[in-house]
Amino acid sequence: MATKATQRRSASYFLSSGDLYILAEGVTFRVHRYFFIRDSELFAKKLRPEDGYSEQKPVILETSPEKLEKLLWVFYNPNYCDYTAPREDWESILELADGWSFPEAKALALRTLDTLDMELVDRIVLYRKFHASQDVLADMLADLCAQDAILTPDEVQKLGWATVGKLLYARELLRGQAEAQGITVCPLPDTVTSDEIWGTVVDLFRLEVTV
């Protein structure tokens, strides 16, 4: 735990007009309460007027100052038409936006991550961890189920055996349609449609998707 002697002010987000003091791992931020009340369902409910009103009594947040700066950049970005940032930054934004209930920031992070290069398995793991929509997860899991290539040991470890088991079972169910006709194709026959793959994945993973 940081002491007063070791605490320092954020070089980027200690704003003279700010009315909310935040402490994250020894770094003090002074920002505008307005963004937290307006954009976060969590802070709108829990942040009291007296919370974080001075540098001596800041709101303490359990995150790194680096990650907090990434999220604050979404609100204070001077180039509001350009949100270009590395993938790692957007992953941090997604993490905090999901954990602290910033729905618009979370949606922005997901839209941006959708445009960035990422292995399908890594995307599935990330989006599941931070609660992307069930529809998006269904599409990605269906794509993974339809791939010809088998999963690598690293991909199996990332997904976990529970998920891998369901994917393998989905493939066997879909292959069974062709094998009943004397056709053996691995992993899936050409006669299986994308809708059939999607429906099987939705059922096995019990995804609540919109129709």
Domain positions in the chain are 134-211
Check residue 174 and give its pLDDT. Answer: 82
Whole-structure pTM value: 0.84
Check residue 4 and give its pLDDT. Answer: 58
Token pair 């088991």: residue: 165
Check residue 206 and give its pLDDT. Answer: 86
Please list, in sequence order, all residues whose beta carbon lies within 8 angstroms of the beta carbon of residue 78, skipping any fewer than 6 positions away: none
Angstrom CA distances, 17 to 14, 21, 32, 56, 115, stand at 9, 11, 8, 17, 35
Which long-range contacts link 48-56 to residues 24+ away (Cβ below 8 Å)?
52/20, 52/21, 52/22, 53/19, 53/20, 53/21, 54/21, 55/21, 55/28, 55/30
Query: pLDDT under 70 in the chain at which residues?
Result: 1-5, 177-189, 211
Please write the tens of the pLDDT for every residue from 171-184: 888 877 655 555 55
What is residue 57's DSSP assignment? B
| Residues 96, 83: Cα–Cα separation, whole Å | 17
| Residues 205, 211: Cα–Cα separation, whole Å | 16
- Greatest CA separation found in the chain? 76
